[in-house]
Structures are given as structure tokens and as C-alpha cells.
Chain A
Amino acid sequence: MSCLATNDWICGEYLRTRSQELTDATLQHVGITVVSVLIGLVVAVPLALIARARPRFAGPVLGLTTVLYTVPSLAMFSLLLPLFGLSAALVVTGLVMYSLTILVRNTLAGLQAVPAEAREAARGMGYGPARLLWEVELPLALPALMAGIRMATVSTIALTTVGSIVGRGGLGNLIEDALPSFFKAQVLTASVLCVLLAVVADLLLLGLQRLLTPWTRIRVAGGAG
């Protein structure tokens, strides 16, 4: 009797016969996550800049993005359904809203932590606001910003599974499929892939962060030497 029929947790035949489904689901999962975090970032950075430039907006911006985060994910996708219909855009929109809390807070914290002296010095050297932001403030805010991106990415990978209620949940589709008949091999495989995705994404982003902030290591090396 095959391990599929006996419903084993670990089943080689499952991996063999479902490799296409697993690949498709993983690609969908990665696609939805990447698009969501990128759009989240594109929305979050200007919001953080506004909140910093106009402190009276800071409260409402942070408050609103936090309130969005408290909407239960099942309800969020159902509420967005009439606006977007059954599309990946529905899931992406929901995930972008969730990512904002983390991304806006971290970006803002990073920008606020830029030492006033660094800013003054740049201004003294004749840097305009755009160049100041791009060449001084953003690089110095990068560690906090990257920490936010890493958290948002891992949380988005987990939340993407909820998209399965409209058939766009990546690996979540497979988990949702398997639960009613308790298809153990599928539940376990899809869950493990989900965790692996999160770990790999986090490591890749950590690598990117190190690549983008070489001075943080140079300083340590210099201190030691």
C-alpha cells in the first residue's frame, strides 16, 4: 500500500507526484510576498517621510497603520472582495496593508535616529534636501529600515496562506486543500516549505543588509584593530 493511501506524514510518493503543484504554489507564494513587500515599501517610505516632516501627521499615520494591522486577515480579504474580485490583487492589497505597520514604524524610527550632527554637516557641505535624504539619511537609516523589511517579509510569508480563501494563497492553497480530508503529507510538506521560505528570505535580506551597509563592519574591524 502506498504512503499516500496510508496517509503518512512523510511521503516520498507525494513529493514525486505533486512536484508540479508544489513548485507552482511556491512560485505563487514568493510572487505574492515579493510584490506585497515592495509595494508596502513604496507606500511606507513616503508615509514615514510625511510623518517626520509634519509631526502632527505622525500620530494619525502610525495609528491608522496599526489599526489596519488589527483587522483579522480572514475578514480583511472578505471585505476587500467586492473591490477587487477574485484576483491576486485582492491578496496583495491586504498584505500591503498589514506590512505598513512594521515598515512605516521602522522607517520612521530609522530616520529619526540619524544624528543631528550628520545632518548639519551635510547641510554645511551644501547638500540639498533630496541629496541629504538619499546620500546621508537613508544610508544611516538602513539598518532600522532593513530590520523592518525582514520582519514584514517573514510576516507576509505567513499571512499569504490566508489568501487561500480566494484560491490565491500560494502554499496556503495546498494546506487549505488538505485539511478537510486531513491529507497529512500535504499539510506537512506545504507547512515546511512555508517555514523554509521565511528562513531563506530572512537570510537573503540579512545578506543584502550587510552588502548595503559595509561601513558597519569596517568600523567594528577598525575598532578591533
Chain B
Amino acid sequence: MSRISRIAGAVVGALALTAGLAACGGDSLEKQGGGSAGAGGAGDGKKGSLVVGAAAFTESKVLAELYAQVLGDAGYRTSVTTVKNRELYEPSLEKGEIDVVPEYAATIAEFLNAKVNGPKAPEEKPVASSDPAATVAALKKLAEPLGLKVLPAGEAVDQNAFAVTREFAEKNKLKTLSDLGAAKIKVKIAAGDECSVRPFCAPGLKKTYGIDVAGVDPKGVGTPQAKQAVKDGVDQLVLTTTTDATIDSFGLVFLEDDKKLQNADNVLPVVNAKDAGAPEIAAALDKLTKALTTADLAELNRKVDAERAKPRDVAEEYLRSKGLIKK
């Protein structure tokens, strides 16, 4: 046998080997279906399969796992796909590549408002407000023509919130942002630098609550540095979100948004009407939406971000403790 044909044989063999490897790789890709295959896959899949989408942040991933597992318990085969952001996953939800997504009422309403009515619509003609019912109604109107079904919103809400130190609140007898306005104390806000122009932040605090804002300290929204600055007394008020579970560890307390300055970002499932419009799906998700509170969500986030538990595990533990899944 000539050397050439041996070499040719080796090349063919090598190609066959790599092609074989590739086939294995292809297989495993199919099985994993991208991101983490949901533990909700526990379902026997008798009713078909559903893809739950998550955005790339902790709370969204936890919510997606919660959704996947209640749907798994209801008999669907589920998987979770993590996509970087709403701009990327929303078109896939319309197409049905993703069937269910955990959303925030006001944020998704304004996102669709911009998509349907032009990029300036959220500023010129906002549809979201501090009223959850009105916001969800406006969201439904925008979502339905796109083939999306909006399921009822729950009590759990992830929206902007302001916090002060416990001592500061006790000393000045503060429970709400109105109290802070009435107390006539100059405050410096630790927040993102856009706070000085956003209506929900410095301008709104001045106008709606009469709070004497001395300035904005650009340390980011809810960052450890921002909270530390308030704890150290450099700033007095910190902008974070209602599901921030670490404020306690900084000795901070929330002041209630009693005049409803913030938009109603209540958690709710948005589904592809064609693939996931079944009443059983709505019923399964609704049980969870009704049970989930803002504090629950904050605690789940804390377990993932501080204790480094897996979103899937904290979701499962929560659902079991609430009796929301049986298996």
C-alpha cells in the first residue's frame, strides 16, 4: 500500500472521527436546549412542552424556574432559556420560540408602547402608571394584537424604592416618603446619575413629596457602594428596588411610597397566546402569582446572590414550602 493512500486513509478516518464527535456534540446540544434545562422537566410532558424565557438577571432566572416548575407539576415538559435582555427575547416570545416569560407590568407595557407607537411614546404618552390595574389593562391592549396573552398580576412587585438607615428613620420618625418631606431635612441621594432628571427620582421626590434634595451621589442603583454610603452617613437616601434583600444587612429600612410615585412593576406572566394560551397554563401560573409576595422574591434573590444557591433549587424549595408543587 502506497504511503499516499495510507495518508488518504488517515485523513478519511480523522474526518469520520471528528464527524462522529460532532454528531455527539450536536446531540447534547439538542438535549440541553441551550441554557439550564429546567428542573420543572420533572413533568411527564403529557400536555406538551413549554419554553420558559428568562432575562439575564437573578430575579428573572428565579421567576423562570418558579414558572417552569409549577408548569412541570401541571404536566408540561419545560425548559428554561436565558436570553440577555428583553430586546432579544420579546420577538422570540411573539414567534413562539419562547412560550412563557416572567415580566414586570409597567416595564413591559412601556417596552411594547415604544415598539408599537414609536420610541418616543413612553415619554410623550406613557401607558404605565402607579395603578397596577390600569397598567395591566393598558398592557393587555398593546400585547394582544402581537399575539401575546397577559396573565393576571400579583402582589409581588419589583419597583424603585428608597431606603434610609434605621437610626435616621427612628430619630426623625419616618415611615413614608411623605414623612421625609414633612420633616424638612436636606437629603443627598445615592443613586444612578440619571436620578437628577428622571421623574420617579429627584424631580418626583421634590414635586410629589416636597423632599429637600441636596444632590445626587452617582453610586449606581442599589449597588453595595450606594448602600454603604448611606450607612456611613455620606448620603441619607438610597435608591434601590423593592426586592433588594440586602438592605437589612446594611441596617437600612424602606420608606413607603405612599403617594404612588413609582410605576406598578408587579410581576406577571406574559405568554405566547397560540402556544401557551391554554386555561390550565393560566391556572397553574396564577396559583403561584397569587402566593408570591415581594418579600418572598427578595428572600429568593438573596439566597441566590448572597448564599450562591442555584435558582432552580431555591425555586423548588419555595414551591414545596408553599405546597405549590406535589412531586
**Complex alpha-carbon distance, A176 and B14, angstroms:** 34
A212 interfacial contact with B, CB 8 Å:
yes
B82 x A177 contact (CB < 8 A): yes
Residue in A27, A31, A167, A181 with the greatest tally of chain B CB atoms within 10 Å: A167
B25 x A166 contact (CB < 8 A): no
A35 interfacial contact with B, CB 8 Å:
yes
**Complex alpha-carbon distance, A18 and B18, angstroms:** 28
- Known contacts A86-B83, A212-B7, A5 near B307 by CB under 8 Å: yes
B32 x A28 contact (CB < 8 A): yes
In the assembled complex, the CB of B35 is this many whole angstroms from the nearest CB of chain A, namely: 4
Contact digits for B302-320, partner A, Cβ 8 Å, 1 yes 0 no: 0011111010000000000
- Known contacts A27-B25, A166-B84, A208-B14, A7 near B308 by CB under 8 Å: yes
B308 x A4 contact (CB < 8 A): yes
A167 x B35 contact (CB < 8 A): yes
**Complex alpha-carbon distance, A96 and B305, angstroms:** 36
**Complex alpha-carbon distance, A85 and B92, angstroms:** 7
A24 x B88 contact (CB < 8 A): no
A34 x B308 contact (CB < 8 A): no
A31 x B25 contact (CB < 8 A): yes
For A213, the chain B residues whose CB sits under 8 A away are 7
B98 interfacial contact with A, CB 8 Å:
yes
B91 x A82 contact (CB < 8 A): yes
**Complex alpha-carbon distance, A214 and B88, angstroms:** 50
A24 x B32 contact (CB < 8 A): yes
Q: Which residue of A lies closest to B56 (CB)?
A: A176
A200 interfacial contact with B, CB 8 Å:
no
B28 x A35 contact (CB < 8 A): no
- Known contacts A86-B34, A181-B58, A5 near B306 by CB under 8 Å: yes
B28 x A31 contact (CB < 8 A): yes
A28 x B7 contact (CB < 8 A): no
Per the 8 Å Cβ criterion, residues 183-218 of A in contact with B are 183, 185, 208, 211-215
Q: Which residue of B lies closest to A78 (CB)?
A: B88
In the assembled complex, the CB of B176 is this many whole angstroms from the nearest CB of chain A, namely: 31
Q: Which residue of B lies closest to A212 (CB)?
A: B10
B22 x A38 contact (CB < 8 A): yes
- Known contacts A139-B4, A167-B83, A173-B35, A31 near B308 by CB under 8 Å: no
Residue in A21, A30, A168, A215 with the greatest tally of chain B CB atoms within 10 Å: A168
For B8, the chain A residues whose CB sits under 8 A away are 134-135, 139
Do most interface residues of chain B lie in helix, strand or loop, or is the interface mixed? Answer: helix
- Known contacts A165-B88, A168-B34, A180-B56, A31 near B29 by CB under 8 Å: yes
A88 interfacial contact with B, CB 8 Å:
yes
Q: Which residue of B lies closest to A92 (CB)?
A: B29
**Complex alpha-carbon distance, A18 and B14, angstroms:** 33
B28 x A28 contact (CB < 8 A): yes
Per the 8 Å Cβ criterion, residues 1-22 of A in contact with B are 4-5, 7, 14, 17-18, 21
Q: Which residue of B lies closest to A218 (CB)?
A: B3
Interface residues on A, range: 35 or more
For B24, the chain A residues whose CB sits under 8 A away are 31
A32 interfacial contact with B, CB 8 Å:
yes
B140 interfacial contact with A, CB 8 Å:
no
Q: Which residue of A lies closest to B61 (CB)?
A: A177
A114 interfacial contact with B, CB 8 Å:
no
A164 interfacial contact with B, CB 8 Å:
yes
A50 interfacial contact with B, CB 8 Å:
no
B7 x A139 contact (CB < 8 A): yes
A151 interfacial contact with B, CB 8 Å:
no
A43 interfacial contact with B, CB 8 Å:
no
A81 interfacial contact with B, CB 8 Å:
yes
B36 x A21 contact (CB < 8 A): yes
For A136, the chain B residues whose CB sits under 8 A away are 4
A165 x B306 contact (CB < 8 A): no
Give which listed residue, A17, A82, A164, A185, contacts B84 with CB less than 8 A. Answer: A164
B97 interfacial contact with A, CB 8 Å:
yes
Q: Which residue of B lies closest to A25 (CB)?
A: B32
Contact digits for B1-25, partner A, Cβ 8 Å, 1 yes 0 no: 0011101101100100011011011
For A38, the chain B residues whose CB sits under 8 A away are 18-19, 22
Q: What are the nearest 6 A-B pairs in CB distance? A: A31-B25, A4-B308, A167-B35, A167-B34, A165-B84, A167-B82
Given contacts A17-B310, A30-B25, A166-B34, 9 further A-B contacts (CB under 8 A): A5-B306, A5-B307, A21-B310, A31-B26, A32-B29, A86-B97, A135-B5, A135-B8, A215-B3
Return 9 A-B CB contacts under 8 Å, by A number. A21-B310, A24-B32, A31-B25, A31-B29, A32-B25, A168-B29, A173-B82, A177-B56, A181-B305
Residue positions of A touching B, CB distance < 8 A: 4-5, 7, 14, 17-18, 21, 24, 27-28, 30-32, 34-35, 38, 78, 81-82, 85-88, 134-136, 138-139, 164-168, 173, 176-177, 180-181, 183, 185, 208, 211-215
Residue positions of B touching A, CB distance < 8 A: 3-5, 7-8, 10-11, 14, 18-19, 21-22, 24-26, 28-29, 32, 34-37, 56-58, 61, 81-84, 88-89, 91-92, 95, 97-98, 304-308, 310
